[in-house]
Amino acid sequence: MIKFSLNNCFDDIYSYVSKIYFSSYTSYRFKSIYDYYSYLLLLDTSNKSLLRCLPQNDKFRYMIWTFMNIYYLTLCTGWIKYSDSFRFITNDPSVLIDDNNGEQIKHITLLLITYYFTALYLYTYDSFRTHSSLAMRTFIIYVREFCTEYSDRMLETIGHKYQYYSRTTCLLLNYTHKNTQPNYLEFKKFFDHVHHIVCISNVLLNICFQLFKLDKFIHTRPIWQIIIRSMSLQFFMVVMNFMISTMYTLAMVTTFSLRIEAKVVKNVKFEIDKILDSIETILNNRKNEPIHLDLMKMKLKRLYKIYIRLIVFVEQVQPYVAQMTVWGIFVNIIGSQIVINCLKRIENDEYFLLILLFYALIAELSIIIFLTYVMSKFNLYLNSIRLNLQRTTCLAMKTDDIYFKFHMTNYYERIVSRKQWGLRIGPITVLTRLVFLKLMIFYVRFTVLSSKLFKN
């Protein structure tokens, strides 16, 4: 009862704060926060721009983000000269930094904010364009529509509600529900809880920004400038909330899909090994059990069909995931260099700025490691089925069933080849451990080079 009341309290807080941050989320329109963000990810942007597809409130904060991008770009490049008062009321970060730190640190801080606002603006724009991968859209739809009451009729339910979806993906997810039992409802609850925490954190961060050096500005700035600055800072936090929430949404959906795929690999390999052990025992003992042997052969064929569906799903999400992976790695590599060089130049007692920069650096490095190492490990795990398939083919050659031999050699030809399956970085290169090591070496070299460039 207390837990239920606490969840209702968090939902009420989120609904109220959503209005402050100009979010289109309402509890009477969307059953959960995941429903709201899945609605955004499923917008039809194939023939329209994102700005035209977004709901009214989200359209407004995306327009605020656009104007802020233009402002920070012109401010950082010096194309337009703004007065000191205008820069103060529009939250130019260089105005908030003490003069003791020098102009260089002010310029780097401004460059960092400009870079992130622009890069994440483009990243967010592409992240909502899920129409490039029907499998990814189907996965989002499946999690959104999943309900325990009609979990056995998910394919029919999705077919009635949606015009475009991947039947192969639905069949794969039906298999995962019956055999690996991923808890979709718990994921949606966890998704909502994370956004509750993000929402509360953004409110606290907003309060900190509002109070930052307020005692100093009261004595040095007119009251009208402080009021306008407070309003523009609210618009800044509107964009920050939209940006951070979108990043967490993509991270959680991607992580959950990888977890489900890993469970499928584990379950299929375990079942295949059990069946192969039984077949090997029958063949070694030369037992005459044709019915039992045929049943195990049918199970093997079904399991390999499921695995092919998994490989097809991974390949079909490539147009979307590969683009997001390249974006994520590029944005965070460049951003981490700016943060590292900014940290080297901060002096005196700028503790608040130091905390923000260290938080940004940890987040960037975590994203780089996740997008490279974790995905390379997943690809290695996905391709580990080759050993099971080689063993299956060898056992098939010992049987007298020509059709079984043909099916197993056909699966071997389709799955085991020189080309590795898995998530890619870009359109071609599969993320393997070797590619991960090359990227880490490149990152270290790039860090050394950027340190030399920033010195100059």
Give CA separation, 403 vs 292, 308, 410, in Å: 17, 19, 10
- Residue holding tokens 């995941």? 34
Other CB atoms within 10 Å distance of the CB of residue 86: 15
Residue 76 falls inside a structural domain: yes
Residue 266 falls inside a structural domain: yes
Token output for 266 = 């584990």
Closest CA to 392 of 290, 259, 210, 268: 268
Residue 456 falls inside a structural domain: no
Split into its structural domains, the chain has a count of 1
* Residue pLDDT tens, the chain, 456 long: 445 567 778 888 888 888 888 888 988 888 889 999 999 998 888 777 777 888 888 889 888 988 988 888 888 887 888 888 888 888 777 766 665 555 666 777 788 788 888 888 888 888 888 888 888 899 999 998 887 666 677 888 888 888 888 888 888 888 888 888 778 888 998 999 999 988 888 888 888 888 877 777 888 888 888 889 888 888 988 988 888 888 888 888 888 888 888 888 889 888 888 888 887 887 777 665 666 777 888 888 888 888 888 888 888 887 787 777 777 777 888 888 878 777 777 665 566 677 777 877 887 787 777 777 777 777 777 778 888 888 888 887 877 777 777 777 777 776 665 566 666 555 545 556 666 666 667 666 666 666 665 555
Task: Domain of residue 18: give its range.
Answer: 2-316+384-419
CA angle 172, 264, 407 (to 5 degrees): 70
Residue 430 β-bridge partners: 424
**DSSP code string of 329-357:** HHHHHHHHHHHHHHHHH--TT-HHHHHHH
Residue 191 falls inside a structural domain: yes
Q: Is the pTM of this model over 0.85?
A: no
pLDDT at 123: 82
Residue 450 falls inside a structural domain: no
Residue 427 falls inside a structural domain: no
Residue 361 falls inside a structural domain: no
Measured CA to CA, the distance from residue 39 to residue 60 in angstroms comes to 17
Element (H, E) at 111: helix 102-127
Q: Which long-range contacts (CB under 8 A, 24 or more apart) does 141-145 make?
A: 141/38, 141/42, 141/165, 142/169, 142/170, 142/173, 142/184, 143/34, 143/38, 143/184, 143/187, 143/188, 143/253, 143/256, 144/34, 144/35, 144/38, 144/42
Element (H, E) at 429: strand 429-430
pLDDT at 1: 46
Give φ, ψ of 47 to 5 degrees.
-120, 0
Residue 185 falls inside a structural domain: yes
pLDDT at 286: 65
